[in-house]
Amino acid sequence: MGGQRLDLRMKALVVLGWVVAAGCTAESEALFGVEGTLPDPLRFEDGRRVTSETQWPDRRAEILELFKTHVYGHAPGLPEQLAFTVLEEDPAALGGTANLMRVAITSRQAGREHTFELIRFAPNTGTPSGVFLLLNNRSANNTDPTRIEKSEFWPVEDAIARGYAIAAIQNSELAIDDAPPFAAGVIQLFEGDAAGPRPPDAWKAIGAWSWGASRAMDYLATDRLIDPTRVAVIGHSRGGKAALWTGAQDERFSLVISNGSGCAGAALTRRPRGVRETITVINALFPDWFADNFRAFNDNEEALPIDQHMLIGLIAPRGVAVGSGSYDSWADPEGEYLGLAYASSVYALFGDALIDPTAMPGEDGSVFVAPRGYHLRTGNHDLTAWDWQRYMDVADQTWPR
Ligand code: GTR
């Protein structure tokens, strides 16, 4: 058994070498369906190779800039003023087991103002807790602070039972998920009402949701019931893309969770055509999500100097968990697994073991190679209570108590 595992590890190493090296062999394509050559996270644009952890910050900065320029756009940082106002606190929520806070996060910039709300429950354990921050892309009744409505999408009671805090922000309060009104939220806070063309590398809705996640982190870092070294950002589908983009940019998140994030999320874009979503389709269906520059790669994935394993690599050496639904071919579960597996070369710089690209778990299986987890749930495109239990399993191992 041990020998077999070692063989697989060796095979993975060899194959990892093949795919990221100059020429992808026919055999590796047949094994993983990775078309052509994956860009190498460890090779600078000028050809130099990253051979040690100390060189990584420079290469990391280069990759981050490529994602800003070509995919998610450039977003601003802190506004001129940022204020947190407690709208409600219930120290004896959920029958006394939890503390509920509703906080208004208000930004002021150039005389303009924008406010969105954060809801969080923390267990009344007497010590600060790790927290899961959901970027909610569904309706607000999924994150009901009164708990009259309960949704598996944000299972407060389950998190509290496992000793975790859980928080949520509403993506639509940052940028409405539609073109053209996407700019009506935080983008106008910074840019005003100026009509006319925006730069082709300007942030849009996904950049705005991620910006909000970082402002939520600004608040959580001040919350006496939260351990700021244990903050996870989590999202499903478009929210999962935003969660990964948040974790790639903001190193304060020690765990980043992508559920069913698919194209421009965890899934590699250099993959065989089929049912999965492509760059061409996503740009056509959702013109409000990505920088306009991303359209240059419609039917032209090979020209991208990056692929999504490099987005996950930007999270290293922090924790990352990827989950897929086995029937969710549109999000390409195998591509999501490979995105995580091929980030291994970056994690290896920090001494972490490889995730074997040939050993994707079967239905209802999971794998954890510290500090990264993957699971495949039998089922559709959704974020369920079962998925959350797997993410809490990863948190248990990533944030040991
Ligand atoms: C789909 C879209 C996906 C995914 C999904 C969702 O229609 O093609 O990229 O984001 O929506 O957010 O539920």
The ligand 1 site (C-beta within 6 Å) comprises 137, 237-238, 262-263, 277, 282, 285
The CA distance from 233 to 257, in Å, is: 6
State the pLDDT at residue 34.
59
Q: 19-32, pLDDT tens digit by residue?
A: 443 233 333 333 34
Q: What is the pLDDT of residues 150-159, one digit of tens each?
A: 999 999 999 9
Name the amino acid, one letter, at 313: G
pLDDT on residue 163: 98
Ligand 1 centroid distance, CA of 327 (Å): 14
Mean pLDDT computed over 81-95: 98
State the closest ligand 1 atom to the C-alpha of 264, by its place in the atom list counted from 1.
Answer: 9
Whether the pLDDT of residue 36 is over 80: the answer is no
Instruction: Give the per-residue SS3 of 127-166.
Output: CCEEEEEEEECCCHHHHCCCCCCCCCCCCHHHHHHCCCEE
285 confidence band (pLDDT: 50, 70, 90): very high
Q: Show the DSSP H helices in 184-265 as ranges.
A: 186-191, 205-220, 238-249
The reported pLDDT for the residue numbered 30 is 36
Pairing of strands 319-325, 372-377: parallel
324 is catalytic: no
Q: Which is the closest atom of ligand 1 to the Cα of 285?
A: 8
Whether 236 is catalytic is no
Ligand 1, residues 277, 380, 383: which to mutate, most atoms within 8 A of Cβ?
277
Q: What are phi and psi of 115, to 5 degrees?
A: -130, 135
CA distance 370 to 401: 15
Q: Give the number of the atom of ligand 1 that is nearest the alpha carbon of residue 262.
A: 9
- The answer to whether the beta carbons of residues 267 and 332 sit under 8 Å apart is yes
Whether 247 and 318 have beta carbons less than 8 Å apart is answered as yes
In this predicted structure, the answer to whether residue 172 has a pLDDT above a threshold of 50 is: yes
Q: Residue 276: name the closest of 327, 207, 341 by CA.
A: 327
**Considering only CA atoms, which residue is closest to atom 10 of ligand 1?**
238
Confidence of residue 353 (pLDDT cuts 50, 70, 90): very high
Q: Please tell me the distance between residue 102's alpha carbon and the centre of ligand 1 in angstroms.
A: 28
| Among protein residues, the one whose CA lies closest to atom 6 of ligand 1 | 237
pLDDT, residue 27, reads: 36
Give one DSSP letter per residue of 309-344, joined into a string.
HHHHHTTTTSEEEEEEETT-GGG-HHHHHHHHHTTH
8 Å CB contact between 361 and 323: no
Q: Which of 237, 254, 324, 345 is catalytic?
A: 237
pLDDT score of 348:
96
SS3 for 80? coil
Give 30 or 175, the one with higher predicted confidence. 175
The C-alpha torsion from 147 through 148 and 153 to 157, rounded to 10°, is 40
Report how far ligand 1's centroid is from the alpha carbon of 134 (Å).
Answer: 17
Spatial separation of the C-alpha atoms in residues 163 and 123, rounded to whole Å: 6
pLDDT of residue 254 exceeding 70 = yes
